[in-house]
Each structure stands twice: as structure tokens, then as C-alpha cells.
Amino acid sequence: MKLYEFQGKELFARCGISVPKRRLVRSFEDLETLDAPLVLKSQVLSGGRGKAGGVVVCDDNASLVQEGKRLIGSSLKGERVLALLAEEKVDILQEYYLSFVIDGELKKPLIIASAAGGMEIEKVAEEEPEKILKLSFDPLAGPSDYHFRRIADFLSLRNELKDLRKVLRAMYALFNQYDASLIEINPLVKTSAGLIALDSKINLDDDAEFRQKEIFQEFQEQQNVIQQNNAKAKDEGTITYVPLDGNIGMISDGAGTGMLSLDLIRDFGGEAADFCEMGGLTSPDVMYQAMETVFNRATKELKSLLVILIGGFNRMDEMAEGIIRYKNDHGLSVPLFVRLCGTMETEGKKMMIDSGLPVFDDLEEAVEKAVMAAEGE
């Protein structure tokens, strides 16, 4: 389960990591009650909000209301923004990156630290790997003072060692106590008042839900409130999206087809990540948006994507166009299994094959392959 920034910061605050004063805003009326200067931050599950225009510094009340109205209800990286975090504006001396993750290859937890904070860490890793420190530690013993001092030296934060140690200890406590697969602070900032977590990214391990029922329930309820709002505010009215618990993304062009696909996924031993339905008379844009929605709003990490299309009114060449456009813009992070038939089927299939995307004639075969891919076979 991925947490929103406001939820992660709540956990940070509970365990003693300093975070800015903040308030969750969900309506235009709430905006009128705020006092500048503040930073308005779109609450969506994907990162890179700053770059995409979803984090805005507002220096006066007029711009707070204006920017807030612009952000609420807007679409950010395919997700509808229906909550903002209105946050105290912090005077930043320097931005750092810190995270606790599980390294699948090493089969060990890692601390990752960098003084190149505020940027995408994947990019730093690729272009300037020397700016990143990775330290593994014993999962039972936890990180030791040696780790804290190594990190403080690497970040040139020797004078802030005490503060840094407190942050790292608290991150480890969260990581451990809540079975997190990721606790990331990017950026952690140095200020005249000490170290403050300006952002939060927390993923809880779905496989641990059975022993973390309370925290999953608390955060899921908060997310439902926001996402129900989200569904109501969708003005396109064409895409129905309901998040589910599994790891196989599912898109269909009809509710009946969607229900059938969910049943088949289960019959083959898989679990769907969503019910996403586009209606039976749709366009390349809607197909594209459906893919954006499924990738951006999945609460668990997707392992495969199944698209089941039955062209009655729907044109398969148009559906293929939407899928291919999405692939060209964003790439595909998981294997895609498309079954299409009906109107303009031959053209649609040819377009898919020309773009290197496999298509299936047989519904069950497509479902079975998607389930196998999700199981890593």
C-alpha cells in the first residue's frame, strides 16, 4: 500500500521526525481560511509533483485561493487531485535524500543517502552514482552508530549528527514496526531550526497486511474518502475505476466484460488490482487515460496489465492507437496482455504487432498469461 504524503508525514510526526506545520485541504471553502505564505502540495500517489507543477509556493492570500482552485480537481500525472496539503513554507539551506529500502538482490535492508536531495534519485544514481551512499545493515540488529556516523560524514552533516541520528532511528523504527518496503524522505532539509522532512514516500508491504491490520485500515479509510471524492469529480464520466487488492491491472470496454475478466483472473489464481471500465463507445484518449489511471492509482505494485476489448461500437484501431500512444509516452513497466476482437479488429491487431505488442484472440489465454506474469513465471 502506497501512502499519500500527508499520511507519511503523520507517521513521521508520531515518531518524532520534524515535519512542517500542515493542514489537509479538500474544498474551495477551506482555501479561504488559509493564511499565506504557504506551500500548496497536490496529494497524489505518484512522485515528481514539483516538476509537474503540483507543488506551488503562495506568498499572498489571493494566490493561495487562485492556485488552490486551479489545483483542486486538476489532473496530475493521470491522477485527479482532490486533496492538497497546505504547508508552512520552510527556509531551506540544503536538500538531502534519505531512504530505507529492501534490496531484493542482497536480500537485506539498505539505507540510501545523498546530498543531491530534491532530485529524482534514479537520475542521480544513473548520472552521478558517486553522490549516493548505500549501506546495508543487519535486519535484526538494525543500523548502528557506525552507520549513522558514516552517513553524517558522507553528507557533511557532522555538526548535525545528533539530529540526523534521531531521524535515521525514527525511520528505522517505522520501517521495522510497520513492515514498510520503503521509507523515503526526499528532500530532508537543513534549516536554521534543524533537519526537517519536507516530503514523505512510504510503501507498506502488502504481504504484511495480516499483522498490520490497524494501520492498513486507518490509512485505507482515509484514502477511500479521497478516492470516492475522486470518482465523483471525474467529469469525463467514461472511466469507472475501483481500486482492488491484487497486482494485475485490468481494463475493459464494458462492465460485463470487466466482471467476467475479474472472475477469470481469480479462476486462474490471480488477483486484480482494479476494476477499470471505459464504456462500450470510447476513444483513443479514453484508452490512454484508462492506462494512466490504472498505473498511477494502483495501491499495490502492478505485475502485469490485462486489457480486454470487445469491439461492438468500439473501434479496435482506435483502442490500439491509445495503447501505443501511452507506451510511446511512458513506456510499459509491466508486461501487457491485450485481447481484442470486433470492429476494425484486423487493423487494430496489425498496429499492435507493428509496435511490438502481442495480442491474443483467446480470452482465457490472455488472462492466464497475465496471471502467470504476475506470479513471475
Q: What would the x/- binding string for Mg ion be over residues 161 to 200, using CB under 5 A?
A: -------------------------x------------x-
89 versus 108: smaller Cβ distance to ligand ADP: 89
To the nearest 10 degrees (0 to 180), the angle between helices 284-297 and 316-330 is: 50
**C-alpha–C-alpha distance, residues 35 and 16, integer Å:** 26
**Among residues 10, 184, 199, 277, the one that binds ligand ADP under rule CB under 6 A:** 199
Least distance to ligand ADP from the beta carbon of 277, Å?
29
199 versus 318: smaller Cβ distance to Mg ion: 199
Least distance to ligand ADP from the beta carbon of 129, Å?
20
Query: Across-strand partners of 100?
Result: 111, 183
Least distance to ligand ADP from the beta carbon of 87, Å?
4
Q: Give the gyration radius of the chain's Cα atoms.
A: 22
**Among residues 157, 185, 198, 307, the one that binds ligand ADP under rule CB under 6 A:** 198
| Active-site residue identified among 5, 67, 79, 184 | 184
94 versus 238: smaller Cβ distance to Mg ion: 94
Instruction: Give the interface size with ligand ADP as a residue count (CB under 6 A).
Output: 20
Q: Which residue is nearest to ligand ADP, using beta carbons?
A: 50
**Site for ligand ADP, residues 44 to 63, rule: CB under 6 A:** 47-51, 55
Half-sphere exposure of 246 (CA within 13 A, CB side): 21
**Site for Mg ion, residues 81 to 120, rule: CB under 5 A:** none
76 versus 359: smaller Cβ distance to ligand ADP: 76
**Among residues 20, 249, 254, 258, the one that binds ligand ADP under rule CB under 6 A:** 20
Binding partner selected for residue 49 from ligand ADP, Mg ion, none, CB under the kind-specific 5 to 8 Å limit:
ligand ADP
Q: Is residue 333 within 8 Å of residue 324, measured between CB atoms?
A: no
Grid cell of 91 as nine digits = 527556509
Least distance to ligand ADP from the beta carbon of 88, Å?
6
| Active-site residue identified among 4, 97, 178, 326 | 97
Binding partner selected for residue 14 from Mg ion, ligand ADP, none, CB under the kind-specific 5 to 8 Å limit:
none
**C-alpha–C-alpha distance, residues 36 and 38, integer Å:** 5
**Site for ligand ADP, residues 89 to 118, rule: CB under 6 A:** 89-90, 92, 95, 118
Q: What would the x/- binding string for Mg ion be over residues 195 to 224, using CB under 5 A?
A: ----x-------------------------
Least distance to Mg ion from the beta carbon of 121, Å?
10
Three-state helix/strand/coil letters over the chain: CECCHHHHHHHHHHCCCCCCCEEEECCHHHHHCCCCCEEEEECCCCCCCCCCCCEEEECCHHHHHHHHHHHCCCEECCEECCCEEEEECCCCCEEEEEEEEEECCCCEEEEEEECCCCCCHHHHHHHCHHHEEEEECCCCCCCCHHHHHHHHHHCCCHHHHHHHHHHHHHHHHHHHHCCEEEEEEEEEEEECCEEEECCCEEEECHHHHHHCHHHHHHHHHHHHHHHHHHHHHCCCCCCEEEECCCCEEEEECCHHHHHHHHHHHHHCCCCECEEEECCCCCCHHHHHHHHHHHHHHCCCCCCEEEEEEEECCCCHHHHHHHHHHHHHHHCCCCCEEEEEEECCHHHHHHHHHHCCCCEECCHHHHHHHHHHHHCCC
**Site for ligand ADP, residues 215 to 274, rule: CB under 6 A:** none
Least distance to ligand ADP from the beta carbon of 220, Å?
22
Residue 347 bears catalytic tag: no
Residue 97 bears catalytic tag: yes
Least distance to ligand ADP from the beta carbon of 7, Å?
14
Residues with a catalytic annotation lie at 97, 184
* Interaction site with Mg ion (CB under 5 A): 186, 199
Binding site for ligand ADP (CB under 6 A): 20, 39, 41, 47-51, 55, 87-90, 92, 95, 118, 186-187, 198-199
